A and B are shown apart, each in its own frame.
Chain A
C-alpha cells in the first residue's frame, strides 16, 4: 500500500526532490485513472472553471443585449436561450459542484486526518458522471440551445418548446448522480474515518457545512432526478404526467422541482459558509465565536431548507394557507443564517484582523450575503412577493446569495488553500486588487437590478421600456468590470503554479490538520495518521504542532 509515503522522512529531503501527489507519477493516464481525492479535486477544478466561463459568456451576451431598450444584440428567441443556458450551466454545472467537489474533495480527508475518502473509485466515477452530464448539456447548447428557463416549467417544457429540452434535462439528470455519490462519499468518510481524538465537536466547521450539504445532496437530488425523468418521458412519448390537457398537474411539477431546487440553494451557500468559518478565524487569529451554534446552524439549515420550497410558488396557484405556512417557515430558515453572520462578526471583534486576499473575499461575503439574505425576507412575505415575484428584484436577490455569497466564498477558499493545493503562493497584491474589482463590479451589476425590479421590470424579457435604460446600462457596465475581475485570478493563479514563491506547509500559520502536512501533500496526505488533542481554531495556543499527539 503506502509505497510512496514510506520513503519520505518528514521535512528531511529538500523541497525539489520531495515526492508529493502532483509529482508522484506523470502522464494523462495517471490523472484520468487516479483515485487520489486531491487529483480528483483538481480534475473538478478544471472542469467547473471551464463551465463557469461558458456560463459567464452567456451572461456577458445578455448584459450586452440589454444596453438598449429594444435590445442591442440578439433575437428575442436567442435571448431566451441565453438566460436559460446561463442558469442551467451556472446552477447545475458550476455552483452545485463548486466548493464540495473541489475544496471539499481536497480538504475533507485532510481536515479529518484520513488518507482518502471512503470510496476513492466512486469518487472518480462521480467526476466522470459529471463530465458525461456536461457533455450532454454542451451538445444541446451547440445543437440549438434550450429556452425553457433553468426551471424547466411544464407544460411549456414538455409540450410546447421546440428546443433541445431532452438532452439538457438528461444532462442535469446524469450530473445529479455525481452529486449524490459525492454526498454519500462525504457522509461515510466523515462518520467513519476521523483521526483518533477528532470528535464531532473538534471538527473544523467546514466539515460540518460539507456534512449538511451532503445530506441535502442525498435527500434532494434523487427527487429532481425522477422529476426530470418524468418530464423527459412525457416529452418523448407524449404521455401525460404534468400536461393539464390530459389530467396532469403542472403545479405538481413545480412542487417536485422546488423540493430539490430550494434546498439546492443551500447546497450552493452552505459550503461557502463553511469556508467562511475557516477564513474568519484564521485572519482574526481567534477561536470561532459560538462553535456549536455555527455547527448546528448548518444542520438546521439543511433540515429547514426542505420545508420552504413553496415560497417559490406564492403566485402559482398554490393554496393561500400553504402559502402562509411556507412564508413562516421561510422566515425561520433565515434564523440559522443570521446566527452565522453574527458569529463571524463576533469572531472579528477584538481579533487581530489582517486583510490578505482570502480575508477580503470573506469580508465581501459578509456584506453581500447579508444583503442577499435580507432581501430574501421581502420575497418570503406573501404581500411583497406578489409585487416583486418575477421581477429583477428576484434576479438581484439570488445573485447576491449565489455570486456575492457562494462565489466570493469559493474564490476566498481557493485563495486560502491554493498554497496547500499547489505548494506555491500567488502575488498577494494582484489578489487583493482582483477581490476589490470583483466586489465593485458585482455591486454595480446587481444593485441596480434591485431598483429595476422594485420599479417593475420583469425578468427574462429581451426588451424593456426606455425609462429603465440608465439602470440597465449601469448593470451592464458593472458586468464588464466583474468579468475582468474574474479573469485576473485565472491568470495569476495559473502563473503562480510555475513561478510563484514556494509556500511552505503553513503560510497563514493556520490551525487544522491540513496545515500540518507538507504542501503539496504526499499522496496519502499524512506520513502518519495524526492524533488530535485540541479543539478547532485554537489560535490562543501558539504551538502549531499542538494538535499532533
Chain B
C-alpha cells in the first residue's frame, strides 16, 4: 500500500536514479554499511599498530596508561552511551510518526551529549595532559622515574592522541550531520515512509560509539589502573 502511494507521487527526498523508495532506502543503508567497513579498516590500521607496539613495549604502555585519568574516560563513556540511546529514540520517533518536535528534541539532545563528550575531552582531559607535559611534540617531559623505558613512553601518548583525536574528529563530523538533520526535521521532512537519513546517520553514530567502547579499555584500563605490574 505504501508502495503504491510512493509510485503515484514522488515523495520528498526521492532521487531519480532509483526505481522506487524501497530501492533507495536499501541502497542508502548498504552504502553506509560499506562505508563503516572502510572505517573499520581505517581504525583497524591504528589498532594493529597499537597492538604491535604494546606487545613490544608493554611496560612503557602500562606506565603511560597509568598517567591517564580514568575518571575522564569513564564519564565520557557514560555520556556517549546515553547519546546512542537518544539517537535511537530519534529514529524510532520518526519511524512511528511522532511529531517533528519530538524528533528534533532527541536530535538536539544527541548533539548536546556529543558536545559534552568533546567538552570533557578537550577542555578538561587534554588540558590536563598538556599541563602534565604529556603531549608529544608539545612540551613533552621525560620523567626520571621511567628509567630505561623513557624513550618509549611518548609512543603510548602518540597513540593515545592519534586514536582519541581521530575519534573526536568523527564526533565533530557526526554533530555536523546531526545539525543538518535537525534543520531537515524542523521543516517536517521526515515521516513514517521517509526517515532514511536519520537511520543512516544512526548507523554512523553508533559506530563511532563502538570505536570508543574499544578505545576506552585499550587506553585507560588494561594494564594501567588495575593490573599493577612493573612500576617502581
Closest 3 pairs between A and B when the two form their complex, measured CB to CB: A237-B137, A222-B42, A226-B45
- Cβ contacts under 8 Å, B154 to chain A: 239-240, 246
A177-205 residues with Cβ-Cβ distance < 8 A to B are 180, 184-185, 187-189, 191-193
A427 contacts B by Cβ under 8 Å = no
Give the contacting residue for A193; candidates B23, B35, B39, B155; CB below 8 A.
Answer: B23
Decide if B67 is an interface residue (CB 8 Å cutoff).
Answer: no
Most chain A beta-carbon contacts within 10 A, residue among B16, B17, B46 = B17
CA distance in complex: A396, B52 (Å): 35
A230 and B49 contact, CB distance less than 8 A? yes
Structural contact, B23 and A192, CB atoms closer than 8 A = yes
Contact (A247, B158) CB under 8 Å given A222-B45, A237-B136: no
Contacts of B48 in A (CB 8 A): 256
Q: Does B112 contact A (CB under 8 A)?
A: no
Q: Which of B154-183 contact A (CB under 8 A)?
A: 154-155, 158, 162
Which residues of the partner chain B approach A226 to less than 8 Å between Cβ atoms? 42-43, 45-46
Q: Answer whether A188 and B16 are a contact pair too, CB < 8 Å, given A241-B49, A247-B151.
A: no
Q: Provide the B1-38 mask, 1 if CB < 8 A to any CB of A, else 0.
A: 00000000010000111110001001100110011011
Pair A222/B41 contact, Cβ less than 8 Å: yes
Most chain A CB neighbours (cut-off 10 Å) among B27, B35, B152:
B27
A240 nearest CB across to chain B (Å): 6
Docked-complex contact A118 and B27, CB < 8 angstroms: yes
Question: Within 8 Å CB of B158, what residues of A?
Answer: 233, 239-241
Does any Cβ of A come within 8 Å of B119's Cβ? no
Contact of B31 with A119 in the complex, beta carbons under 8 Å: yes
Closest A-chain residue to B35, C-beta based?
A: A184
Cross-chain contact B46 with A114 (CB below 8 angstroms): no
Given the interface contacts A2-B16, A116-B17, does A227 sit within 8 Å of B152 by beta carbon?
Answer: no
Give 27 A-B contacts (CB < 8 Å), ordered by A residue.
Answer: A118-B17, A118-B31, A184-B34, A185-B31, A187-B34, A192-B23, A193-B23, A222-B41, A222-B45, A223-B44, A226-B43, A226-B46, A230-B46, A230-B49, A238-B137, A239-B155, A239-B158, A240-B154, A240-B155, A246-B152, A246-B154, A247-B53, A247-B56, A247-B152, A249-B56, A256-B45, A256-B49
Q: Is B92 an interface position by the 8 A CB rule? A: no
Tell me, in angstroms, the Cα distance from A219 to B136 when the chains sit together. 31
Assess the A223–B45 pair: CB atoms within 8 A: yes
Q: Does A168 sit within 8 A of B, measured CB to CB?
A: no
A119, A192, A249, A252 pick with most chain B CB within 10 angstroms: A192
A219 to B39, CA, bound (A): 9
B-side interface residues, number (CB < 8 Å): 37
Asked whether A120 and B17 contact (CB < 8 A) given A192-B30, A223-B44, A230-B162, the answer is yes
Chain B residues, Cβ within 8 Å of A249: 52-53, 56
CA–CA, A256 to B27, complex, Å?
31
Cα of A120 to Cα of B31 in the assembled complex, Å: 13
Residues of B within 8 A of A120 (CB): 15, 17
Whether B57 sits at the interface, judged by CB under 8 Å, is yes
For A60, the chain B residues whose CB sits under 8 A away are none
Chain A residue numbers with a CB within 8 Å of B39 are 222
Chain B residues within an 8 Å CB radius of A118: 17-18, 27, 31
**How far is B158's CA from A191's CA once the two chains are assembled, in angstroms?**
40
CA distance A256 to B46 in the complex (A): 10
Q: Report chain B residues within 8 Å CB of A256.
A: 45, 48-49
Which residues of chain A from 195 to 234 have any CB-CB distance to chain B below 8 Å in the complex? Answer: 218-223, 225-227, 230, 233
Q: Which residues of A contact B27 (CB under 8 A)?
A: 118-119, 188-189, 191-193
Question: How far is it, in angstroms, between the C-alpha of A40 and the C-alpha of B75 when the chains are bound?
Answer: 47
What residues of chain B have their CB less than 8 Å away from a CB belonging to chain A?
10, 15-19, 23, 26-27, 30-31, 34-35, 37-39, 41-46, 48-49, 52-53, 56-57, 60, 136-137, 151-152, 154-155, 158, 162
Other A-B contacts than A118-B18, A193-B19, A241-B155, 8 sampled, CB-CB below 8 A, are: A1-B16, A115-B16, A118-B27, A120-B15, A223-B44, A223-B45, A233-B162, A247-B57
Expressed in whole angstroms, the Cα–Cα distance for A490 and B221 within the complex equals 61
* Min C-beta distance of B51 to chain A, whole Å: 11
Q: Are A191 and B42 in contact (CB under 8 A)?
A: no
The reply on A529 being an interface residue by CB < 8 A is yes
B159 to chain A, nearest CB (A): 8
Rounded to whole Å, the gap between the CB of B59 and the closest CB of chain A is: 12
- Could you tell me which A residues sit within 8 Å of B by CB distance? 1-2, 109, 114-120, 180, 184-185, 187-189, 191-193, 218-223, 225-227, 230, 233, 237-241, 246-249, 252, 256, 524, 529
Tell me, in angstroms, the Cα distance from A118 to B136 when the chains sit together: 44
Cα–Cα distance between A1 and B16 once the two chains are bound (Å)? 6
B52 — which chain A residues lie within 8 A by C-beta? 249, 252
* Contact indicator B37/A218 (Cβ below 8 Å): yes
* Chain A positions within 8 Å of B34 at CB level: 184, 187-188, 218
B31: chain A residues at CB < 8 Å are 118-119, 184-185, 188
In the complex, what residue of chain A is closest to B39 when comparing beta carbons? A222
User: What is the CA–CA distance of A1 and B43 in the complex, to the nearest angstrom?
Assistant: 40
CB <8 Å contact, B155 and A248: yes
Once A184-B31, A193-B27, A247-B56 are accepted as A-B contacts, the answer to whether A223 and B152 lie under 8 Å apart by CB is: no
CB pair A192–B26 under 8 Å, yes or no, is yes
B178 to chain A, nearest CB (A): 20
Is A115's CB under 8 angstroms from B162's CB?
Answer: no
Q: How far is the CA of A226 from the CA of B16 in the complex (A)?
A: 36
- Give the distance in Å from the alpha carbon of A193 to the alpha carbon of B45 in the complex: 32
Minimum CB–CB distance from B118 to chain A (whole Å) comes to 21
- Tell me the complex Cα distance, A521–B163, Å: 47
Report yes or no: A117 in contact with B137, Cβ–Cβ below 8 A. no
- When the two chains form their complex, are residues A239 and B17 in contact, meaning their CB atoms are under 8 A apart? no
* CB–CB A239/B136 < 8 A: yes
Contacts A119-B31, A192-B27, A241-B158 given; does A246 touch B19 at CB 8 Å? no
Residues on the A chain within 8 Å of B30, using CB: 187-188, 191-192
* Docked CA distance A115–B136 (Å): 52
Establish whether residues B37 and A219, one from each chain, have CB atoms under 8 Å apart when the complex forms.
Answer: yes
The answer to whether B38 and A184 have CB atoms under 8 Å apart is yes
Instruction: Give the CA-CA distance A353 to B183 in the complex, in Å.
Output: 61
- Which residues of the partner chain B approach A237 to less than 8 Å between Cβ atoms? 136-137
Contact B38 A117 (CB under 8 A): no
- Among A115, A222, A246, contact of B17 (Cβ-Cβ < 8 Å): A115
Measured between beta carbons, the chain A residues less than 8 angstroms from B137 are: 237-239
